[in-house]
Amino acid sequence: MFQRFTTDTFNWIFIIGVALLFAEIFFFNNGLIFGILFLSALIYIGKRMYENIVGKILFWIGVFILFFTIIDLMVARFIIIAAIVMFIISYRQSKDDPDYFSPELSEENVNSLPEPLVKVESIFVNQFSGNQSTDESPYKWRDINVHGGFGDRIIDLSNTVLPEEAVISIRQLVGNIKVYVPYEVEVHVTHSAVFGRSTVFHKKQVSLFNQTFSYMTENYGTGKPRVKIVTSLLSGDIEVKRI
């Protein structure tokens, strides 16, 4: 529906939305950020305790109140209005200038043919809430590059055959990240967090506050296979351990 609009259009909508959000937080509703953080924490706690009735109640109360809190924001109203306007414009353009497809017959040499590509399925997918872990049975390795909202990520590298160089990149709001690494694999870890704790092999930090650190094994520069782990958390723990 929105294929006719350029990336710049969406970028301007994003910039205006962020400006409205900051204006509402700092000028019209100073307690908004604390309310959202509290409701987010309520949802996270409820998700962790979802097996019992208390967890379900906390989770759905948090979701319900957070939904209506977000809907009531100026930025949410702006995005809804922008989406409606873009839909109307797109519909009008499709009527005035419909897409026309016709077969093109031309002589093509081998060099002008499109390069064949193979789609690679990702091990993890981007999701706002929920836990993810690698298969307990052997699986084929694919580099991980995901972002998410709430939940834990568990990656067990002992159930796969790593290439010479592998990459794990995870950006998350709230949750814990655990990576289990075989002893013969070299590791480079770069992690940033606003709140949390970290354990990288024997290196432990019981409190992280707006910190970034990086560790690598002694032979990472020359040894193979090796894995580069880049993670970012608003609040949560990271653990990298041998297995």
Place of tokens 């100073």: 30
Q: Is the pLDDT of residue 8 over 70?
A: no
Locate all alpha helices (DSSP H) within the chain, ordered by sequence. Answer: 7-23, 32-48, 53-71, 74-96
Query: From the centroid of its chain, how far is CA 31?
Result: 26
The per-residue pLDDT of the chain, averaged, comes to 83
114-145 confidence digits (pLDDT tens)? 767 677 777 887 777 778 888 888 888 999 99
Vertex 203: Cα angle to 178 and 143 (nearest 5) = 35
C-alpha span between 85 and 80 (Å, rounded)? 9
Rounded Cα–Cα distance for residues 155 and 131 (Å): 11
CA-closest candidate to residue 163, choices 135, 147, 179, 186: 186
Cis peptide before 225 (omega within 30 of 0): yes
Whether 97 has a pLDDT exceeding 70, the answer reads no
pLDDT digits (tens, 9 = 90+) for 179-229: 999 999 999 999 998 888 899 998 888 777 788 999 999 999 899 999 999
* pTM, 2 dp: 0.59
CA distance 211 to 194: 6
| Sole residue written with tokens 């894995």 | 227
Distance, CA of 17 to CA of 106 (rounded, Å): 47
DSSP category for residue 36: H
The DSSP secondary-structure symbol of 154 reads E
